Structure 1
Amino acid sequence: MLSAGAGVPRQLDEAFAWFLSAAKQNEVGAMVLVGNAYQHGRGVCENTAEAVWWYMRAAKLRDPIACLILASCAESGYGVPRNLKCALMWMNVAIQAGAMAFDAIVFERAIDLALRLAMSKQGDHLRALVKAGVAGPFPAAG
């Protein structure tokens, strides 16, 4: 309620204190919320290393949301070295942990990551970027 300002004035720092207390007691959902607070500077100073640490802690307990977030971190290079193989690994853990229940798009993202990784291994980096929608389309030469 404090985080959303539902029925009470919004107090992000107080909400963070409650999330952190719960996370320290091994509440996995709270670990993800603490990571998110550190990532976006909500109620606490932005801290990439702390964000990734809390996401990692929750992911090791097989929280599917934390696994999806770590896949995104590895894909983009947020707080960890950019690594498509690691991103795919976390995506697979998320699927095994039940992330498919959230959205069918998770499966499509996993396939996309696998395809990009395979194309990248073949040395076709530009084609991988175009396939992922990061680059292109390119005008015809003429």
Structure 2
Amino acid sequence: MRSTSRGIGPADTLLALGQSCLDRGEGGQAFAWFRSAARGGDARAINMLGRCHEHGWGVPADPVQAAAHYRKAADLGDGWAMFNLADLHCRGIGVARDDEAAYRLYAASAAKGNAKALNMLGLFHESGRAVPADEAAARALFKAAAESGDCWGRFNHARLLIGDGAREEALRWFRLALDSGFPDFYRSMAVALAPHPDPQIQALAADALRLAETRKEACR
């Protein structure tokens, strides 16, 4: 059921159909496509079943079921499932809050190439959560996430650059963050930047708020 070097497999088609339904707000049909793909053991599809259960897409929201699907997909090696299960452990939703487990899962997801996981590891190192506080490690992780295209990584990298007095470089990364975000991120960015006295940073906050109102959130 998985794609191979010979071409696109049936699971890829079912996943694409499910994502298309999600994009149109058809959660029930999306869930049905993901469930069909998951029957063949496709880890990506199992992860998407977890997403459906977490967010109530086509089924009642059930974080315990979401965690079970994420764990199964993570055990099969899916990097996004590792990230999503880490998020639940980080927040204590559907599973016990466990910062150490969250950190391990974020690290495993990052090893799979997930830039968002790099950013989360940066936050853990910056705050001393689950690991000793280490500003140098946090900076390196934020920069790696930023260079890999993650909007939060770009924001956090820019945030630290502002603190360093590297204004022009920070503005460049804030602008790049605007190119790669989603509505909730844009709203958070607007709130964070709006009080800043620099007019260009205030303008970026206004741009972020405008984007929050005009862009539809994509499902990962």
The TM-score with structure 2 as length reference comes to: 0.47
Q: Percent identical across equivalent pairs?
A: 24
For residue 140 of structure 1, what is the aligned residue in structure 2? none
Superposition RMSD on alpha carbons, in Å? 2.1
For residue 159 of structure 2, what is the aligned residue in structure 1? 109
CA distance in 2, matches of 1:104, 1:89: 12
Q: Which moved more, 1:7-16 or 1:47-56?
A: 7-16
For residue 95 of structure 2, what is the aligned residue in structure 1? 44
CA distance in 2, matches of 1:90, 1:18: 28
* Displacement after TM superposition at 1:8 (Å): 1.8
Runs of 4+ in 1 over 6 A off after TM superposition: none
Hey, which of these two has a bigger chunk of helix by percent? 2
**Contiguous gaps of at least 5 residues in structure 2:** 1-51, 166-220
Q: 1:77 aligned to 2:119?
A: no
**Contiguous gaps of at least 5 residues in structure 1:** 117-142
* Displacement after TM superposition at 1:98 (Å): 2.4
* Displacement after TM superposition at 1:34 (Å): 0.7
The TM-score with structure 1 as length reference comes to: 0.71
Q: 1:10 aligned to 2:72?
A: no
Written as runs of structure 1 = structure 2, the 5 A alignment for 1:1-142 is 1-99=52-150, 105-112=155-162, 115=164
CA distance in 1, matches of 2:74, 2:99: 17
For residue 127 of structure 1, what is the aligned residue in structure 2? none
Report how many aligned residue pairs link the two structures: 114
